[in-house]
């Protein structure tokens, strides 16, 4: 069930009415309703997917209790390994089995062997990487004695399955989100109103910008042999805008939607295209995943508390694993490696990471700040060529075509002006509100101006929004 679908437009108000209709003091009943609604939401794609999320939830709920109650370090470690094995095993079979088998077969064929072709005909469950990481944070934190397990089963199941962020995040930590399901929630009209504004901005990003840009991206990556370097650069830049608007738009919808139910989710994007360095960029892009890898992979490897060469190795390992998390393809590994290499100069030079690009009361960035932001976006866009391509040969073919044919008068470059202007306009709107949680944090505006803005954006969605209901890009991960 897509957020940008008619069925969801009926589903959300119905769940909202039932949720608050049972009474805020009956939070356990609200949790049961959340579980039922979330399973309906998730099962709408394929009811068979429900068995996996129920299995993962059940295993981690029971193992979390046993880990906490055990005083034997060996037993606790074995229980944690059991949790890791079940969750990562499910993820590995459904997402990575064919990738690793095919890679092994190619490697054996390169040395003259002829292994049989083996492949599983299975569908990748939507959002499996997201809820797997969310449940793992629960058992790992209990094992580290940083979290108390929850006794109420419905509280834990609601935490895992909460439908606004179930299939594409943010990836919430148990210690932050779980307590919110273990207490009474109250409806705050001010918070709910701001949640609706954030949802509206998310729809603008997704339906008005990302979906309208998508056909031009498909043109550039699907027919790159017939285009020149300028057109391919436009296509790559448009994909960087599409990916940002698509994914951050989903996060805005999820965060705003959760606020309607009295739940606060973590910020997942902090205007990353205004970052001056790639290290700063990764503090602002997909924050919930970046911090997950920092806390559960990078720091356990030794983090930056080791030698410079070991710290650099740790960074590259984390980025390569992060790349593989995004998809079972060597293109994602190369994308992750490139981003790891981008961040090494700042890490090895102990470069500080700025929290703000420029003071919020300055309308325009300085020349040096603008140059740094453009450089960061271009580096990111180069990496995204591998992220978007079907194979390494496709990515290198795209880049090679751009270098070998930088300009051709037979290519219609004018077709890229409108989508580039659309993406640039959205970034300008975000720039002027970059010190706020989202670009429609306009509660201080006069009521007439606020409502005029809502109506204009609503009409723009109706008139200019993409008529094709496209799935969110990150659903495939």
- Rounded CA-CA distance 209/425 in Å is 10
Distant-in-sequence, close-in-space partners of 8: CB < 8 Å, separation ≥ 6: 1, 2
User: What's the start-to-end Cα distance of the chain, in Å?
Assistant: 16
- Rounded CA-CA distance 204/206 in Å is 6
Structure confidence at residue 351 (pLDDT):
57
Task: Return the structure tokens found at 223.
Answer: 């027919």
- Rounded CA-CA distance 226/224 in Å is 5
Identify which of 399, 106, 99, 426 has the alpha carbon closest to the alpha carbon of residue 252. Answer: 426
The answer to whether the bond into 170 is cis (omega within 30° of 0) is: yes
Q: Is pLDDT of 442 > 50?
A: yes
pLDDT band (50, 70, 90) for residue 74: very high
Structure confidence at residue 110 (pLDDT):
75
Structure confidence at residue 100 (pLDDT):
77
Structure confidence at residue 51 (pLDDT):
93
Count of alpha carbons within 13 Å of 70, Cβ hemisphere only?
18
Is residue 31 within 8 Å of 163, Cβ to Cβ? Answer: no
pLDDT tens per residue, range 390-404 = 999 999 999 999 999
Q: Is pLDDT of 354 > 80?
A: no
- Rounded CA-CA distance 419/212 in Å is 7
Identify which of 196, 274, 123 has the alpha carbon closest to the alpha carbon of residue 451. Answer: 196
- Rounded CA-CA distance 84/24 in Å is 36
Domain ranges of the chain: 6-187, 190-276+354-476
Q: Is pLDDT of 477 > 80?
A: no
Is residue 235 within 8 Å of 221, Cβ to Cβ? Answer: yes
pLDDT tens per residue, range 16-25 = 999 999 876 7
pLDDT band (50, 70, 90) for residue 304: confident
What number is the average pLDDT over the span 139-162?
96
Structure confidence at residue 291 (pLDDT):
95
Catalytic residues: 326
Distant-in-sequence, close-in-space partners of 11: CB < 8 Å, separation ≥ 6: 1, 37, 40, 41
- Rounded CA-CA distance 105/329 in Å is 15
- Rounded CA-CA distance 53/42 in Å is 9
Total Cβ atoms within 10 A of residue 238:
25
- Rounded CA-CA distance 127/161 in Å is 11
Global pTM value:
0.93
Is residue 271 within 8 Å of 434, Cβ to Cβ? Answer: yes
Q: Is pLDDT of 254 > 70?
A: yes
- Rounded CA-CA distance 278/293 in Å is 17
What number is the average pLDDT over the span 61-86?
96
Task: Return the structure tokens found at 288.
Answer: 């919930």
Burial 400-437, CB ≥16 within 10 A → b, else e: ebbeebeeeeebeeeebeebeebbeebbeebbebeeee
Mean pLDDT (the chain) is: 91
Phi then psi dihedrals of residue 219, to 5 deg: -65, -50
Q: Is pLDDT of 352 > 60?
A: no
Coil, helix or strand at residue 245: helix
pLDDT tens per residue, range 154-207 = 999 999 999 999 988 899 999 999 999 999 998 999 999 999 999 999 999 999
Is residue 347 within 8 Å of 312, Cβ to Cβ? Answer: yes
């Amino acid at each position: 069930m897509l957020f940008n679908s008619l069925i969801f437009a009926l589903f959300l108000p119905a769940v909202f009415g039932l949720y608050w209709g049972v009474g805020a003091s009956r939070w356990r009943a609200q949790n049961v309703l959340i579980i039922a609604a979330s399973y309906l939401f998730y099962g709408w794609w394929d009811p068979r997917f429900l068995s996996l999320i129920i299995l993962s939830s059940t295993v981690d709920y029971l193992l979390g209790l046993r880990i906490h109650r055990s005083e034997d370090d060996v037993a606790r470690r074995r229980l944690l390994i059991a949790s890791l094995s079940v969750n990562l095993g499910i993820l590995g079979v459904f997402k990575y089995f064919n990738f690793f088998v095919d890679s092994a077969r190619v490697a054996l064929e390169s040395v003259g062997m002829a292994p049989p072709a083996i492949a599983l005909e299975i569908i990748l469950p939507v959002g499996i990487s997201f809820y797997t990481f969310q449940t793992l944070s629960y058992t790992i934190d209990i094992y580290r004695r940083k979290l108390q397990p929850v006794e109420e089963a419905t509280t834990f199941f609601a935490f895992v399955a909460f439908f606004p962020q179930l299939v594409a995040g943010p990836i919430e930590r148990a210690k932050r989100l779980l307590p919110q399901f273990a207490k009474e929630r109250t409806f705050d009209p001010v918070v709910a109103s701001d949640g609706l504004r954030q949802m509206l901005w998310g729809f603008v990003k997704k339906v008005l910008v990302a979906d309208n840009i998508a056909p031009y991206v498909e043109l550039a990556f699907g027919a790159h042999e017939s285009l020149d370097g300028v057109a391919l650069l436009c296509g790559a830049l448009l994909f960087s805008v599409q990916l940002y608007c698509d994914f951050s738009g989903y996060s805005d919808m999820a965060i705003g939607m959760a606020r309607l139910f009295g739940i606060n989710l973590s910020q997942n994007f902090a205007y990353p295209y205004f970052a001056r360095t790639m290290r700063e960029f990764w503090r602002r892009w997909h924050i919930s995943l970046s911090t997950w890898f920092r806390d559960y992979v990078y720091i356990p490897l030794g983090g930056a508390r080791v030698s410079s060469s070991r710290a650099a190795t740790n960074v590259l390992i984390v980025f390569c694993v992060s790349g593989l998390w995004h998809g079972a393809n060597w293109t994602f590994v190369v994308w992750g490696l490139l981003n790891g290499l981008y961040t090494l100069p700042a890490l090895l030079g102990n470069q500080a990471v700025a929290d703000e690009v420029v003071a919020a009361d300055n309308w325009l960035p300085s020349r040096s700040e603008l140059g740094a932001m453009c450089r960061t976006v271009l580096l990111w866009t180069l990496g995204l060529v591998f992220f978007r391509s079907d194979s390494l040969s496709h990515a290198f073919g795209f880049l090679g075509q751009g270098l070998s044919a930088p300009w051709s008068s037979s290519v219609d470059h004018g077709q890229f002006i409108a989508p580039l202007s659309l993406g640039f306009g959205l970034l300008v709107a975000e720039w002027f509100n970059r010190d706020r949680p989202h670009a429609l944090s306009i509660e201080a505006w006069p009521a007439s101006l606020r409502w005029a803005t809502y109506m204009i954006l609503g009409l723009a969605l109706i008139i200019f929004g993409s008529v094709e209901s496209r799935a969110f890009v990150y659903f495939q991960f």
